[in-house]
C-alpha cells in the first residue's frame, strides 16, 4: 500500500468514527485533520468536499462493515438458525456505546436521507443489497419453508424489525426492550419453517 | 379558554410544526415568535426555556396525537383486525410529506434521546404507555390467541417493526418498502390467533 493509499484509508477510518459519534453534519473537518495529523491540502487531494468524504465513508467503510456483520448468519448451513444466533448474540453482547450511539447506518439514514439525494440513493442501494442477500440465503432452504411466504417481503420485515428494535433500545438506553423484540423476532423467523 | 391559554396553545401548535419540520435543535425561537406574532416576553411567560417548550410539545401535542392515532385500532372489537386495518390504511393513505418527514415521535427519539435525559425519559414513558395499551387490548381477546405468546413482547415487537418500516420508507422516499413490511406485519399479527 502506497503512502497516499495509507493516508486515504486513515482519513476514511477517522471520518467514519467522527460521523458515528457526532453525525455527519456535526462532523468537523478540522478535527479529522488534527486526528490524522495532515494538512488541508492532503485531505482535499483525496476528497474534493466533505460530502464526497461522507459518501466514501458510507461506501468503503460502513457498507462493507455492515454486510460483513450479516455474512456469517447468511452463510450458515441453516440461515434460519444463523439469523437467530446472530440477533441473539447481538442482544447479549451489545455494549453500552452501541446502545447509545445506535447503528451507524441507521443513524446516517435518519440524519441524511431526507436532506441529501446522494446519501438517500446509497442507503436505498445498500438496503436492496442486504435484502437480496437475505433472500438468496433463505432461497437455499426454500423446500423447508412454508409455501405461503414471500421471501423479499420477509427479508424487508426482518430488517425493519431489527432497525426498529435499535431505536427502542436507544430511547430506553438499556437492552431490555431490545432483547424482548429480538426474542420475538427469533420466534417469528423460526416459524417460517414448515 | 382565556387569552393566555389561547396564546399558550398557539405557541405549542406552532412549535410542534417547527420541530416536526426541522428537528428540535434546528428549531428557532425567533421563527416561532414571528409565526405566533408575539413578543419574547410572552413566550417566556409561558415557557422558561426552549427545552421546557420542547417537553410541553412532546407531552401535550405529540403524545396525545400519537395515542389518539392508535386508539380506534385498539378499541376495535377485534384488536387483531383493528391493528391490521390501522396499518394497512396508513400504508395506503400516507402522503409524501409523511414519507419524507417520518413520524414526529420517532424523529425526536433519534435526535434527542441520546442527548437529553428529559426527552429520553419522556420517550421511554410514552413507549411503555403504548405498550400497556396494546397489551390491554390483546388481553381482551386472550382466549382467541395462541397460548405460547407473551403479550408485552408481542406489543414491543409490533411497535418496533412499525417504527423500522418508517425508517425504510424514509430512505426509499416512496411507500413500496413500507407497504411490503406492513403486509408482512399484518400476516404476523393475524397468526397470533389460534
Angle subtended at Cα A140 by Cα A136 and Cα A143, rounded to the nearest 5 degrees: 130
SS3 B114: coil
CB pairs under 8 A between A and B: 123
Of A57-61, A127-131, B14-18, B102-106, least confident by mean pLDDT is B102-106
Which residues in chain A have their CB less than 8 angstroms from residue B116's CB?
none
Task: Give chain B's contact residues with A (Cβ, < 8 Å).
Answer: 100-102, 106-107, 109-111, 113-114, 120, 123-124, 127, 150, 152-154, 156-157, 159-165, 167-168, 170-173, 177, 180-181, 183-185, 188, 191
Answer whether A180 sits within 8 Å of B153, measured CB to CB.
yes
pLDDT, averaged across chain B: 90
pLDDT of residue A110: 74
- Report residue B181 as a C-alpha cell: 413490511
Under the banding of pLDDT at 50, 70 and 90, the label for residue A18 is very high
**What residues does each domain of chain A span?**
57-190
Which residues in chain A have their CB less than 8 angstroms from residue B177's CB?
127, 156
Per-residue pLDDT tens over the stretch A161-187? 988 888 777 776 667 888 899 999 999
Q: How many helices (H) and strands (E) does chain A have?
A: 11, 0
What percent of chain B shows pLDDT beyond 90?
66
Inform me whether the pLDDT recorded for A96 exceeds 70: no
Inform me whether the pLDDT recorded for B100 exceeds 60: no
Inform me whether the pLDDT recorded for A52 exceeds 70: yes
Report the half-sphere exposure of B125 (CA within 13 A, side-chain side).
12
Residues 6 or more apart whose CB falls under 8 angstroms from that of B97 comprise none
pLDDT of residue B127: 87
pLDDT of residue B97: 58
Give the architecture (CATH level 2) of B58-190.
Orthogonal Bundle (1.10)
Per-residue pLDDT tens over the stretch B52-93? 999 999 999 999 988 998 999 999 999 999 999 999 998 888
Nearest by CB: A160 against B109, B114, B181: B181
Which residues in chain A have their CB less than 8 angstroms from residue B122's CB?
none
What percent of chain B shows pLDDT beyond 70?
94
Which residues in chain A have their CB less than 8 angstroms from residue B160's CB?
161, 164-165, 167-168, 181
CATH homologous superfamily, domain A57-190: Tetracycline Repressor, domain 2 (1.10.357.10)
Question: Which run of H or of E encompasses B26?
Answer: none
Query: Residue B28, by phi and psi: left (phi above 0), alpha (psi -120 to 50) or beta?
Result: beta
Amino acid at each position: 500500500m502506497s503512502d497516499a493509499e495509507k493516508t486515504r484509508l486513515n482519513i476514511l477510518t477517522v471520518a467514519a468514527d467522527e460521523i458515528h459519534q457526532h453525525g455527519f453534519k456535526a462532523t468537523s473537518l478540522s478535527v479529522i485533520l488534527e486526528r490524522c495529523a495532515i494538512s488541508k491540502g492532503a485531505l482535499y487531494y483525496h476528497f474534493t468536499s466533505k460530502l464526497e468524504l461522507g459518501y466514501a465513508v458510507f461506501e468503503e467503510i460502513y457498507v462493507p462493515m455492515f454486510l460483513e456483520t450479516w455474512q456469517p448468519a447468511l452463510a450458515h448451513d441453516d440461515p434460519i438458525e444463523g439469523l437467530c444466533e446472530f440477533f441473539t448474540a447481538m442482544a447479549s453482547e451489545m455494549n453500552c456505546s452501541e446502545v447509545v450511539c445506535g447503528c451507524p447506518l441507521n443513524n446516517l439514514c435518519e440524519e441524511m436521507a431526507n436532506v441529501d439525494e446522494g446519501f438517500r440513493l446509497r442507503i436505498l442501494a445498500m438496503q436492496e443489497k442486504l435484502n437480496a442477500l437475505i433472500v438468496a440465503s433463505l432461497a437455499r432452504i426454500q423446500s423447508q419453508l412454508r409455501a405461503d411466504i414471500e421471501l423479499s417481503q420477509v427479508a424487508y420485515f426482518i430488517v425493519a424489525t431489527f432497525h426498529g428494535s435499535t431505536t427502542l433500545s436507544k430511547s430506553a438506553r438499556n437492552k431490555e426492550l431490545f432483547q424482548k423484540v429480538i426474542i420475538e423476532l427469533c420466534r417469528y423467523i423460526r416459524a417460517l419453517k414448515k
